[in-house]
Every structure is written in C-alpha cells, then in structure tokens.
Amino acid sequence: MFLLSDVTFKNIINIEKLRIPRNKITCIVGESGSGKTTLLKLLNHLISCDSGEIWCQGKNLKEIDPVLLRREVVMLSQAPLIFPGTLKDNLLIGLDFSEKKPVEDKELFELLKSVKLDKDLSANVSEFSGGEKQRLALCRIMLMEPEVFLLDEPSSALDDETEELIIEKMVSFTKKKNKTLVIVTHSKRIAQTHGELTVTMDKGKIIQVEEAVK
C-alpha cells in the first residue's frame, strides 16, 4: 500500500525503508515524541517529506492531488475536528467531502449504536465529551469508506472497556470492507492483539518491524 524510501522530515523523521501492506492492520508503537503522528501525516500528505520518496499503490505522493488522496487515505487525529451543529451534520460532512451520497438515518443510528454513542441525531455536538467526539469522528470516517484509515490514538479519551469495543469494531469493519488500517497506539496490548504488522519507532527511526504469527 505504502512504500517509504530514505524519508526525512526536519529532525523528526529519518526512515530508510518501510513498507505498509494493503488490506492489513498495521500498528505503529513507540514512546511519545518518536515520530508516530508525523509518520501518519506524511502518509496523508498533510505534510511533505524534506527528502526521500513515498509511494501509495505504486504512485508517488508528489504526483497525487492531495484532496483526492485524502478522500481515500483518511486520518483521524487524537483531537478530531468537530464542526458546529448537530450530530447528523457532523456525520454527513465527511460524505460531502468525499462526494458520496448521504445515507438514511437508519444507517446512521446503526453505526452510532455499534460504537455505543447513544445520542439523538439532532443533538448539539458542542455538549459532547471528548470520548463522544472521538466516537462521532470515527463514525464519520467509517461512513466515508476510504481505502485507508489512519488512526492516531483513536481510543485515548476512552475507558478500557470502550477502548476495546472501538478497536474491535474498527478492525472488524476494516476486514469486512477489505480496507487498510494503520493505527498509532500507546498500547502494546492493542498491537499484540490486533496488529498483523507492528512497526516500532524511536527518535524518528524504525527500530523494529514485526509480522504477527497467527
């Protein structure tokens, strides 16, 4: 899916080579400040590398329209962007960005139920907690159904039980839809349980790439 070769960014990233496979669950782990979030931003072309090359499905990222790329390679940050308005407004705005048709309320309710977000579609999102906003943003990108999901600590504002539910839901959704999932996580348990490939970073470098034996 992605291939990185001799990629540097400021003094944060220095990756000689990294391959992230298609239709797999890749977990990126490492201490705070190791460059994990920066790596996701490079894959999404939110930032550009200072040197080196990044390919996505055989195409150089420099040759892909960033808007078109972000419709198919969607990133969910630790503090997801929430727009003023209702829950329904926020769910549908991703479909609008992707130029996909709106869906029926029934589908929205089913998706919200699956992540235990028990809210009315007319609810004002400004009153949501951090964990509720994370689950809302997760539902929004699931509706978009991009080829690649980039998740930066998607469960950081959740309790352990809800965290496990959300990660399991995202993994099963990715596999069902035959998509690619890249998760930055602080949790070794999540990486060991769900990661088909685990990439360990330290000081901007890749120090270990481990394929799961299952």
Give domain status of residue 92, yes or no: no
Judge whether 151 and 206 are in contact, CB under 8 Å: no
Task: Tell me, yes or no, whether 149 lies in a domain.
Answer: yes
pLDDT at 182 over 80: yes
Percent of the chain with pLDDT strictly greater than 70? 99
Residues 6+ apart with CB under 8 A from 126: 84
65-74, 80-89, 139-148, 156-165 — which is least confidently predicted? 156-165
Predicted pLDDT of residue 164: 82
Tally of domains in the chain: 1
Instruction: Please compute the mean of the pLDDT values over residues 3-22 and round it to a whole number.
Output: 98
Which helix (H) or strand (E) segment holds residue 123: the answer is none
- Closest Cα to residue 169, out of 117, 93, 94? 117
Span 45-56, average pLDDT? 97
Tell me the DSSP string of 150-199: EEESTTTTS-HHHHHHHHHHHHHHHHHHT-EEEEE-S-HHHHHHH-SEEE
- Could you tell me if residue 196 is inside a domain? yes
Residue 214 pLDDT grade (very low, low, confident, very high; cuts 50, 70, 90): low
Rounded CA separation 141/136 (Å): 9
What is the domain range of residue 189? 2-81+145-211
Instruction: Tell me whether residue 201 is in a domain.
Output: yes
In a domain, 16, yes or no: yes
Residues 85-138: pLDDT tens digits? Answer: 999 999 999 999 999 998 999 999 999 999 999 999 999 999 999 889 989 999
Residue 158 scores a pLDDT above 80: no
More confidently predicted of 214 and 83: 83
Residue 74 is assigned to a structural domain of this protein: yes
67 occurs within a structural domain: yes
Q: What is the CATH number of the domain that holds 150?
A: 3.40.50.300
pTM for this prediction: 0.95
